[in-house]
Structure 1
Amino acid sequence: MSYGDATNVTTGEVRLSFVHLFKPYAFQPGQEEKFSTTILLPKSDAATKQRIDAAIDAAKQKGARGCWNGVTPPVVPTPIWDGDGVKQDGTEFGPECKGHWVFTARSSADYPPEVVDRNSNPILSASDVYSGCYGRVNVEFYAYNFNGKKGVGCTLGPVQKLRDGEALGGAAPTAAQAFGAPQNPQTRVDPITGEVVPF
């Protein structure tokens, strides 16, 4: 991945979903574990979508010169999906995807993405970047030819968190929510000293 290449894009503000930025994850048993996040790009951000479309076209041109051996397939699968439509399996996207372009970026377990705050300071706590928060993502589009399948994929680069948002899929409750406010310990009077002591 090389910043500034025609195939490289830094998004405007997007919403993050299925966030696995601090520990690689496999969606199915036996799959290779990877760092990943699903990116929800508002359809109102036409400028970023235009840059993504141009990057995908550049990736196709690289593919024709490289792994596709001079021939661009008549239909080239790309990683961008319409959140108002349906997924590959024909089911609808979740409500958070409505009004967005949806795509997933991944990087191998050997290449963890750099994750920073809005001031470019490193974020070290995984709980600070979660499904539902907002940020910007740098991605690289590339052509692939794997087991006879040809298309354009998306590699995950640095991620910048911009602001918090409502957690998607629900968040674990805090201890205070689960167990109530801290209780004052019950006390008793020590019959020998007369001091008030906890049970």
Structure 2
Amino acid sequence: MSNTAKRTIPTKVITGVVRLSYANVWEPKSINGGTEKYSVSLLIPKSDTKTLSAINEAVNAAIEEGKGKFGGKIPNKAALKLPLRDGDIDRPEDEAYANSYFINANSITAPQIVDKNINPILDRSEIYSGVYARVSINFYAFNSNGNKGIACGLGNIQKIRDGEPLGGRTNASDDFATDVDDDFLS
């Protein structure tokens, strides 16, 4: 990320390579009867200190910008719901989250989805839970129903490379790739 982009929008981050989980980026979906949104969980390797540092700076900028929503002053960070979570602590049963932090990002507007050369990806099978991508995200303050914190808005997605699908998804070519299936007609 260039320093000029950081100065103009201090709450925006372009991640390094992250893994997409719970990728709901083609059609908006309602969670518990709420507003329909596009959403994805970004798995950020703990080794990606550059992305993690940029996220922490953007979260701090969002807290500063959100003072008005917090009654004119910055609350103690411990009193805020923050978006960056530790996969080893919050999802210990899910090996995809091991050695990673994660952020849930969502938007009411569809993300633009592009390949490495920034050409639009139209084939929905190209983006799935498990794919590796760079993602633009934006942090903002919220204060609703007694909950105060920083949320993460989903921007655009750039596919970097395929990954092992998460959630047990398999390819038809793998499922049906057998030389001879003697049992087929029995």
Q: Report the alpha carbon displacement of residue 26 of structure 1 after superposing the two structures with TM.
A: 2.5
User: What is residue 123 of structure 2 aligned with on the other side?
Assistant: 125
User: What is residue 113 of structure 1 aligned with on the other side?
Assistant: 111
How far apart in 1 are the matches of 2:98 and 2:40?
17
Which one of the candidate residues 10, 16, 19 is aligned to 2:20?
16
Which one of the candidate residues 3, 6, 14 is aligned to 2:10?
6
Gapped regions of structure 1 (runs ≥ 5): 184-199
Amino acid in the other structure paired with 2:102:
V
User: What TM-score do you get using the length of structure 1 for normalisation?
Assistant: 0.80
Q: Could you tell me the percent identity over the aligned residues?
A: 39
Aligned length in residues: 174
Which one of the candidate residues 36, 41, 53 is aligned to 1:38?
41
User: What is residue 86 of structure 2 aligned with on the other side?
Assistant: 82
User: What is residue 48 of structure 1 aligned with on the other side?
Assistant: 51
Describe the SS at the equivalent of 2:167: coil
Q: C-alpha offsets along residues 27-86 of structure 1, whole Å, 9 cap, x if unaligned?
A: 43x12221011000001010110110000000000111x222312222211111001112
Q: Report the alpha carbon displacement of residue 126 of structure 1 after superposing the two structures with TM.
A: 1.4
What aligned pairs does 1:1-199 form with structure 2 within 5 A after superposition?
A: 4-28=8-32, 30-64=33-67, 66-74=68-76, 75-86=79-90, 92-108=92-108, 111-174=109-172, 177-178=175-176
Amino acid in the other structure paired with 2:106:
R
Classify 1:173/1:164 alpha carbon distance in 2 versus 1 (closer, same or farther; 3 Å). closer
Q: Report the alpha carbon displacement of residue 114 of structure 1 after superposing the two structures with TM.
A: 0.4
Classify 1:44/1:23 alpha carbon distance in 2 versus 1 (closer, same or farther; 3 Å). same
Classify 1:148/1:130 alpha carbon distance in 2 versus 1 (closer, same or farther; 3 Å). same
Q: Report the alpha carbon displacement of residue 20 of structure 1 after superposing the two structures with TM.
A: 0.7
RMSD: 2.2
Contact 2:63 2:150 in 1 (8 A): yes
Gapped regions of structure 2 (runs ≥ 5): 1-5, 182-186
Contact 1:83 1:101 in 2 (8 A): yes
Q: Report the alpha carbon displacement of residue 176 of structure 1 after superposing the two structures with TM.
A: 7.4
Classify 1:3/1:35 alpha carbon distance in 2 versus 1 (closer, same or farther; 3 Å). farther
Q: Report the alpha carbon displacement of residue 25 of structure 1 after superposing the two structures with TM.
A: 1.5
User: What TM-score do you get using the length of structure 2 for normalisation?
Assistant: 0.86
Consecutive aligned runs of 4 or more in structure 1 exceeding 3 Å deviation: 178-183
